[in-house]
């Protein structure tokens, strides 16, 4: 039955013709829509749509077999008017300058929306980490760090984990940067291991923030968490923490997807079994008693809450009409295209946007940076309490502006964020 339905949808001409989304095109379209509504003058629009700085580096890495391979990486600082640039580094075969620019711009809005004193940045290296040994990954990370060392630093640009990077990668970056400086500089990155100046609660922070945003969204839209059917696309750090917290709150996790495919069980998937499968074989398909389907088909199964927690451009004009859910919460950056956003608006499906829903990570990164600069560390309770406060405050602020302006959550979040960055830009004025 399910397969037949899927077959019919595949033949839909709109789906076949839907354009591939470029994240930069999406980011700029979102920004333009907000500046229009804010009546921002065209000069400010022009100043904010360009990244401040973009660095492309091509660098060699010695492989385990003795050969040398060239890699390409980027670091883009979109805006620094409210403070140092901040944002993750991703390792992925699909990394491009356009994508890194879009992600840097989204970081600017995210930090402004959460009212933390950072601008936005992002970095990336074009690489399939599954093809590298741990030693190769370390050499690549150290070399990439050297290549971007001239523009990063605790006062200028602070990287953090993103797709396929983690606390260990941050430790290598911190070490490589510190060697260059001749002293230990913990505040150059966030998301480090706690043993070298990381913050407790940082690893779980993005997922915890997504959980808080989901909880608040459900409260506003009258969806009881207990028994709510949840689909999560992506089971990395963010997706897995979100799944665990939602399951603890009584939700039924009916569908999960990783890069290899998706699993589904309308009676609920045991999140601990999914975590175990990832730990042992690295694949969700090894979870027992589940139906297997493709990641894109999973998105269209019935749910109460749909959480894209993987990559950009997943909810598009091609599938937005087939999504059967009551609430979408963007744990990934840029998972919904403008076209899909319009369809969800028309269909009355609320979308809690990335710059709000997944901001928990950068909020606790901010806490980590503050702790590093003060050499004074907080308890987990303090970190989580402050995170809870900042997430709920921002959610309430966005909800209030949406009611006042009669707009969707993304527009509400952008109106607050872009206005803050524009004000900082205006008041600093041109040199």
Residues annotated catalytic, as ranges:
122
CB of 218 to ligand GLU, least distance (A): 22
Cβ 145 to ligand GLU, closest distance in Å?
16
- Strand residue runs (E) in 216-344: 229-233, 252-258, 261-264, 291-293, 305-308, 327-329
Q: Are 343 and 116 in contact (CB under 8 A)?
A: no
Site size toward ligand GLU (CB under 6 A) is: 11
Among the listed residues 333, 337, 338, 371, the single contact to ligand GLU using CB under 6 A: 333
Nearest approach in angstroms of CB 103 to ligand GLU is 7
Task: Tell me whether residue 335 or residue 361 sits nearer to ligand GLU (CB atom).
Answer: 361
Q: Per rule CB under 6 A, is residue 239 in the interface with ligand GLU?
A: no
List the interface residues with ligand GLU, window 51-80 (CB under 6 A). none
Beta carbons of 261 and 285 less than 8 angstroms apart:
yes
Rounded distance between C-alpha atoms, residue 353 and residue 402, angstroms:
13
Interacting positions 157-216 with ligand GLU (CB under 6 A): 160, 162, 190
Decide: is 295 part of the binding site for ligand GLU (CB under 6 A). Answer: no
According to the binding rule CB under 6 A, does residue 82 interact with ligand GLU?
no
Q: Which residue is nearest to ligand GLU (CB)?
A: 88
365 is a site residue for ligand GLU (CB under 6 A): yes
Residue 205 near residue 361, CB atoms below 8 Å: yes
If one counts every other C-beta atom within 10 angstroms of the C-beta of residue 56, the result is 12
**Residue 330 lies near ligand GLU (rule: CB under 6 A):** no
Report whether 107 contacts 86 (CB < 8 A): yes
Q: Least Å distance between CB 107 and ligand GLU?
A: 6
Q: Which helix (H) or strand (E) holds 370?
A: helix 360-374
The encoded tokens of residue 182 equal 């001749």
Q: According to CB under 6 A, which one of 86, 192, 229, 420 is a site residue for ligand GLU? A: 86
Residue 361 C-beta: closest distance to ligand GLU, Å = 4
Q: Is 124 in the site for ligand GLU (CB under 6 A)?
A: no
Cα–Cα distance, 138 to 397 (Å, whole number): 42
Kindly identify the residues of this chain, within the stretch 335-364, that bind ligand GLU according to CB under 6 A.
358, 361-362
Could you list the beta-strand ranges (E) of 117-224: 119-126, 157-161
Nearest to 316 by CA among 92, 72, 87, 25: 25
If the CB atoms of residues 290 and 359 are measured against ligand GLU, the closer one turns out to be 359
**Among 23, 84, 87, 217, which residue interacts with ligand GLU (rule: CB under 6 A)?**
87
Q: Which of 48, 24, 20, 46 is nearest to 100 (CA)?
A: 24
Measured CA to CA, the distance from residue 243 to residue 204 in angstroms comes to 11
Q: Residues in the site for ligand GLU, rule: CB under 6 A? A: 86-88, 160, 162, 190, 333, 358, 361-362, 365
């Amino acid at each position: 039955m399910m397969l037949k339905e899927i077959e019919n949808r595949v033949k839909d001409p709109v789906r076949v013709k839907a354009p591939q989304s470029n994240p930069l095109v999406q980011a700029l379209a979102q920004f333009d829509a907000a500046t229009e509504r804010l009546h921002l003058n065209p000069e400010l629009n022009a100043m904010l749509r360009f990244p401040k700085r973009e660095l492309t580096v091509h660098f060699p890495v010695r492989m385990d077999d003795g050969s040398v391979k060239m890699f390409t990486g980027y670091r883009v600082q979109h805006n620094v008017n409210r403070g140092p640039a901040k944002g993750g580094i991703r390792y992925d075969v699909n990394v491009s300058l356009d994508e890194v620019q879009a992600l840097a711009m989204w970081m600017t809005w995210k930090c402004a929306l959460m009212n933390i004193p950072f601008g936005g940045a992002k970095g990336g290296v074009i690489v399939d980490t599954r093809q590298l040994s741990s030693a190769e990954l370390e050499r690549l990370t150290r070399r990439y760090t050297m290549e971007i060392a001239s523009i990063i630093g605790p006062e200028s640009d602070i990287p953090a984990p993103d797709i396929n990077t983690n606390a260990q990668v941050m430790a290598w970056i911190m070490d490589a940067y510190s060697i260059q400086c001749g002293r230990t500089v913990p505040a150059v990155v966030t998301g480090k291991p706690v043993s070298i100046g990381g913050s407790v609660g940082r690893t779980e922070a993005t997922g915890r923030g997504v959980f808080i945003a989901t909880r608040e969204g459900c409260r506003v839209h009258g969806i009881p968490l207990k028994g709510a059917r949840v689909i999560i696309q992506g089971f990395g750090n963010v997706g897995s923490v979100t799944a665990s917290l939602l399951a603890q709150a009584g939700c039924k996790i009916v569908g999960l997807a990783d890069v290899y495919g998706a699993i589904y069980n309308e009676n609920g998937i045991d999140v601990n079994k999914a975590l175990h499968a990832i730990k042992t074989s690295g694949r969700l398909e090894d979870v027992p008693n589940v139906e297997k389907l493709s990641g894109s088909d999973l998105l269209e199964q019935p749910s109460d809450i749909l959480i894209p927690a993987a990559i950009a451009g997943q909810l598009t004009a091609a599938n937005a009409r087939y999504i059967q859910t009551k609430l979408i919460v963007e744990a990934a950056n840029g998972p919904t295209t403008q076209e899909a956003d319009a369809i969800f608006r028309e269909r009355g499906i609320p979308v809690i946007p990335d710059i709000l829903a997944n901001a928990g990570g950068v909020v606790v990164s901010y806490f980590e940076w503050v702790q590093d600069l003060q050499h004074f560390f907080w308890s987990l309770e303090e970190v989580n309490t402050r995170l809870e406060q900042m997430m709920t405050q921002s959610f309430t602020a966005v909800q209030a502006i949406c009611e006042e302006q009669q707009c969707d959550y993304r527009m509400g979040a952008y109106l607050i964020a872009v206005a803050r960055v524009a004000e900082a830009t205006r008041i600093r004025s041109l040199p």
